[in-house]
């Protein structure tokens, strides 16, 4: 009789708090109980909440963004048992579809406060901000960033199988050493965090253990993938994931309607709740057969495409905004590339914060161009000109349009913020003093070192 309906293995509610839902969890740990079972070869639907678990509202204030509780993220759906999967296998995950919830056709892009989450350009743009995006079929648009519309390259930001106890120990040791050695005036990694831990249907004992040991979901990690935030891992993609525990314990979440390469503002994709449809196949002995240390994938055939000549492309080098020469630093180069694009679009009337938000979520192409011409790494950023409803091509002086404003925290005015930008001083920067920040960093060191 053929297919009549695809099984939904994870219904979530957008009204019940995420921490009350047993098929969600927010740490990586092998002891989190299975949330369901999926056959080898089966295609199922899995619903997901947005990565914050509903902390951000469809409104015009970024207060929620400023005050987001990062101990609660990311709420993932799972972990699911994939029948027959065992350590050493590869789980072939084919993403058949990703859709927003029909009754929830909107998402958000945010800039975190420099002192609560931060982002790639937080030294220049330290203030929390937000844009709400409306979804109409394949397209999205925002009242906070007018004159753009683009189709989503929709994808899950996070997918992966649970670490084994050994893999988890490696992570905690490795990241703990980084925290312990940190001399920067910023948080460089997040150790296990008992506060607000959610371990699905786990008993209190297991939950406490997950709180003590469970890896945070923020970074992607080589051994299993996780929060890779790869924008092209979209509909039709096949991802090959190493299996570390019996049954695979596959989890997925952090759905993005769209994202630019780098997801630069950290909460930079268009974050949403929604439904992912996945086919699962187990490749026995796949890790050895494929010589695999980290996930690989094949993108799907249905990405938006504009033609190469429609990407206005910016170049950046590892010389920072203060004129300092860095040695082969791609991170510095990519930051400069983005600043060049901000400066360019600013001419049309957008505020820097609007562009920072836009480049985080629109399908911009960030390439490593040259990485060997000492001392300058060179990166490029390709901006699809067709997402704008006016002409942004480089033909002369720009005509400023009325671009309104993105959302800010209560009391912050766009004018004040944009008087900042890449070239000027910043007279604001949120709540924590330098002293307080230093204390936060010191606290993390202590946690790690067990002092």
By CB under 8 A, what part of segment 306-365 binds a copy of itself?
A: 306-317, 319, 323-331, 334, 336, 340, 343-344, 346-347, 365
Q: Is 69 helix (H, G, I), strand (E, B) or coil?
A: coil
Place of tokens 């086919």: 279
Please, what's the b/e burial string for 322-344 (b: 16 or more CB within 10 A of its CB; e: otherwise)?
eeeebeebbebbbbbbbbbbbeb
> If we measure between CA atoms, which residue out of 59, 58, 54 comes closest to residue 72?
54
Q: How far is the CB of 18 from a copy of itself (least distance, A)?
A: 20
Backbone angles phi, psi at 415, to 5 degrees: -55, -45
Nearer to a copy of itself, 212 or 367 (CB): 367
Q: Is 218 a binder of a copy of itself (CB under 8 A)?
A: yes
Nearer to a copy of itself, 60 or 203 (CB): 60
Q: How far is the CB of 234 from a copy of itself (least distance, A)?
A: 9
Among residues 187, 206, 432, 441, the one that binds a copy of itself under rule CB under 8 A: 187
| Contact stretch for a copy of itself (CB under 8 A) within 30-38, 47-55, 182-190, 196-204 | 182-190
Nearer to a copy of itself, 308 or 411 (CB): 308
| Contact stretch for a copy of itself (CB under 8 A) within 14-22, 227-235, 401-409, 440-448 | 227-235
x/- map, 23-52, a copy of itself, by CB under 8 A:
--------------------x---------
Q: How far is the CB of 177 from a copy of itself (least distance, A)?
A: 6
Nearer to a copy of itself, 68 or 202 (CB): 68
Element (H, E) at 339: helix 330-346
Tokens at 240, concatenated? 């090959």
| Contact stretch for a copy of itself (CB under 8 A) within 197-205, 243-251, 255-263, 439-447 | 255-263
Angle at 187 between CA 405 and CA 211, to 5 degrees: 105
Hey, which residues between 418 and 437 contact a copy of itself (CB under 8 A)?
Answer: none
Hey, which residues between 92 and 111 contact a copy of itself (CB under 8 A)?
Answer: 95-97, 102-106
Q: How far is the CB of 144 from a copy of itself (least distance, A)?
A: 10
Nearer to a copy of itself, 207 or 231 (CB): 231
Q: Is 126 helix (H, G, I), strand (E, B) or coil?
A: coil
Q: Distance between CA 12 and CA 24 in Å, rounded?
A: 8
**Exposed, middle or buried, 395 (CB in 10 Å: 0-12/13-18/19+)?**
exposed
Nearer to a copy of itself, 59 or 433 (CB): 59
Among residues 156, 247, 253, 268, the one that binds a copy of itself under rule CB under 8 A: 268
Q: Is 377 a binder of a copy of itself (CB under 8 A)?
A: yes
Q: How far is the CB of 102 from a copy of itself (least distance, A)?
A: 8
Among residues 4, 15, 427, 451, the one that binds a copy of itself under rule CB under 8 A: 4
Q: How far is the CB of 179 from a copy of itself (least distance, A)?
A: 9
Number of C-alpha atoms within 13 angstroms, CB side, residue 368?
8
Peptide linkage before 74 cis (omega within 30 of 0):
yes
x/- map, 53-92, a copy of itself, by CB under 8 A:
-----xx---------------------------------
Query: How do strand 139-142 and strand 150-151 relate by DSSP bridges?
Result: antiparallel
Cβ contacts of residue 339 below 8 Å, gap of 6+? 121, 124, 316, 321, 422
> If we measure between CA atoms, which residue out of 307, 300, 334 comes closest to residue 319?
334
Q: Distance between CA 407 and CA 133 in Å, rounded?
A: 12
Q: How far is the CB of 267 from a copy of itself (least distance, A)?
A: 9
Q: Is 404 a binder of a copy of itself (CB under 8 A)?
A: no
> If we measure between CA atoms, which residue out of 39, 40, 275 comes closest to residue 156?
275
Tokens at 212, concatenated? 């003590």
Cβ contacts of residue 263 below 8 Å, gap of 6+? 157, 229, 231, 269, 360, 361
Q: How far is the CB of 140 from a copy of itself (least distance, A)?
A: 10
Number of C-alpha atoms within 13 angstroms, CB side, residue 187?
21
Hey, which residues between 118 and 177 contact a copy of itself (CB under 8 A)?
Answer: 119-120, 132, 134-139, 143, 151, 170, 174-175, 177
Q: How far is the CB of 128 from a copy of itself (least distance, A)?
A: 15
| Contact stretch for a copy of itself (CB under 8 A) within 193-201, 284-292, 399-407, 427-435 | 284-292
Nearer to a copy of itself, 16 or 368 (CB): 368
The dihedral formed by the CA atoms of 144, 135, 262 and 316, expressed in degrees to the nearest 10:
-50
């Amino acid at each position: 009789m053929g297919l009549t309906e695809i099984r939904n293995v994870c219904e979530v509610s957008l009204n019940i708090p995420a921490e009350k839902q047993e098929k969600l969890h927010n740490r990586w740990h092998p002891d989190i109980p299975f949330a369901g079972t999926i056959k080898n070869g089966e295609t199922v639907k899995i619903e997901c909440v947005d990565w914050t678990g509903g902390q951000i509202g469809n409104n015009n204030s970024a207060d929620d963004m400023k005050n987001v509780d990062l101990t609660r993220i990311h709420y993932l759906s799972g972990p699911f048992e994939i029948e027959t999967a065992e350590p050493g296998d590869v789980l072939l995950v084919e993403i058949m579809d990703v859709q927003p919830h029909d009754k929830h056709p909107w998402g958000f892009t945010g800039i975190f406060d420099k002192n609560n989450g931060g982002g790639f350009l937080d030294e220049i743009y330290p203030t929390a901000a937000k844009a709400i995006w409306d979804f109409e079929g394949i397209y999205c648009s925002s009242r906070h960033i007018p004159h753009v519309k683009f189709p989503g390259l929709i994808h899950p930001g996070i997918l992966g199988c649970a670490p084994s106890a050994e893999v988890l120990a490696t992570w905690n040791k490795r990241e703990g050493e980084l925290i312990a050695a940190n001399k920067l005036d910023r948080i460089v990694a997040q150790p296990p965090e008992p506060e607000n831990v959610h371990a699905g249907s786990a008993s209190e004992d297991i939950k406490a253990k997950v709180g003590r040991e469970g890896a945070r979901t923020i970074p992607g990690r080589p051994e299993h993938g996780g929060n890779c935030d790869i924008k092209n891992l979209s509909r039709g993609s096949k991802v090959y994931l190493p299996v570390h525990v019996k049954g695979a314990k596959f989890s997925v979440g952090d759905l993005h309607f769209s994202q630019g390469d780098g997801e630069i503002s950290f909460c930079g994709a268009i974050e949403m709740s929604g439904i992912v449809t996945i086919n699962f196949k187990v490749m026995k002995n796949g890790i050895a057969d494929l010589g695999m240390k980290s996930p690989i994938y094949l993108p799907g055939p249905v990405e938006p495409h504009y033609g190469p000549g429609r990407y206005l492309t910016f170049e950046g080098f590892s010389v920072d905004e203060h004129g300092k020469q860095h040695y082969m630093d791609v991170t510095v180069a990519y930051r400069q590339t983005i600043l060049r694009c901000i400066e360019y679009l600013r001419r049309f009337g957008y505020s820097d914060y609007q562009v920072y938000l836009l480049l985080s979520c629109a399908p911009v192409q960030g390439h490593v161009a040259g990485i060997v011409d000492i001392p300058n790494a060179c990166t490029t950023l390709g901006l699809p000109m067709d997402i704008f409803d006016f002409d942004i091509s480089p033909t002369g002086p720009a005509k400023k349009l009325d671009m309104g404003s993105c959302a800010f925290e209560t009391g912050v005015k766009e004018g004040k913020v944009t008087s900042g930008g890449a070239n000027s001083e910043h007279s604001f920067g949120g709540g924590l003093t330098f002293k307080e920040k230093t204390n936060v960093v010191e606290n993390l060191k202590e946690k790690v070192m067990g002092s």
